[in-house]
Amino acid sequence: MGEFDLITRYFKRPAKRSPLGVGDDCALLAPAPGMQLAVSSDMLVEGRHFLSTVEPSRLGHKALAVNLSDLAACGAKPLAFTLALALPGVDEHWLEGFSRGLFALADEHGCELVGGDTTRGPLNICITVFGEVPAGSALLRSGARAGDDIWVSGTLGDARLALEVFRGTIALPAEVFAEARMRMEQPTPRVALGQALRGIASSAVDVSDGLVGDLGHILGSSNVGATLDVDAAVGTVAAAGTPDLSVEMLRTCALSGGDDYELVFTASSSARAAVEQAGKRSATRVTRIGRIDAEAGLRIVDASGAPVAQRFGSFDHFV
């Protein structure tokens, strides 16, 4: 099968809303009047972002999900995406599964594939996603103010717990592992919550490298500090009740786990009811885990307010 047959068989579908989709030198996008286009790119490399053994349909889901998560963190509504794919060869089983998982999530969000590139090379998946957001209303990292609450969506740490099982450092009961593995392999981008938080959240970021590291982006961009309740964060971990998991492991997974694709965001304490309401409207759990301080730096405390000595890193591809 040649390059263009491959594209036609697995990836070419008629454009619905875009003026021009797959099959020309460029795709054409036309955001609605008054809308800005939000753009984000994420590249996934085998062995770093996914295990070589992952089921291809789950990988197709995840490749788009991590990009949709960036749109969610800006409060943007998904529109379209491009897919650039380096493949070691033509593996029809892989292509069928990957494209099925990819399009299932794309269809769920009305996000259409409009173009891309296919080449031979070490497996690499690069998606650029486009969303629209009313001019001036995107959620940014730079809007947190002293006194704001810090919130997180969904559950933290479960993806990392699943990874630790694959690494052999911990064991989980089968049904707990199955749920954690789904969080690692098929994360849920919080697209509806992101849009519901427009006008409510003062800042937002998605958690991909770990809560502490990604919250750090908000603190740096907003020029503020924070106090984080580690026990509140651990309370969101779905597997938190599992016997034999150490407090240290749970805290590490919740604060430094990575691969969560949850939103961490800030909002004025007067907006608590509005945040809860946004969570309900988008059927997404939201949990208050700390507050923004004027004083720089991140202070990690337990439920009683006592400082926690444990250190928490953040994922970095080059350190």
Nearer residue to its own copies within complex by CB, 44 or 308 = 44
In the complex, the smallest distance separating the C-beta of residue 229 from its own copies, rounded to whole angstroms, is 24
Nearer residue to its own copies within complex by CB, 44 or 165 = 44
How many other C-beta atoms can be found within 10 angstroms of the C-beta atom of residue 187? 25
In the complex, the smallest distance separating the C-beta of residue 205 from its own copies, rounded to whole angstroms, is 6
Beta-carbon-side half-sphere exposure of residue 125 (alpha carbons within 13 Å)? 22
Nearer residue to its own copies within complex by CB, 90 or 301 = 90
Nearer residue to its own copies within complex by CB, 71 or 170 = 71
Sorted by sequence, the CB contacts under 8 Å of residue 33 that are 6+ apart come out as: none
Nearer residue to its own copies within complex by CB, 141 or 160 = 141
CA of 222: how far to CAs of 203, 266, 272, 293, 308, in Å?
9, 11, 20, 11, 24
Q: Give the span between the Cα atoms of 217 and 248, in whole angstroms.
A: 24
In the complex, the smallest distance separating the C-beta of residue 115 from its own copies, rounded to whole angstroms, is 6
* Residue 121 and residue 85 in contact, taking contact as beta carbons nearer than 8 Å: no
In the complex, the smallest distance separating the C-beta of residue 160 from its own copies, rounded to whole angstroms, is 18
Structure tokens at 293: 């301080």
In the complex, the smallest distance separating the C-beta of residue 71 from its own copies, rounded to whole angstroms, is 6
Name the residue with tokens 């809308």. Answer: 35
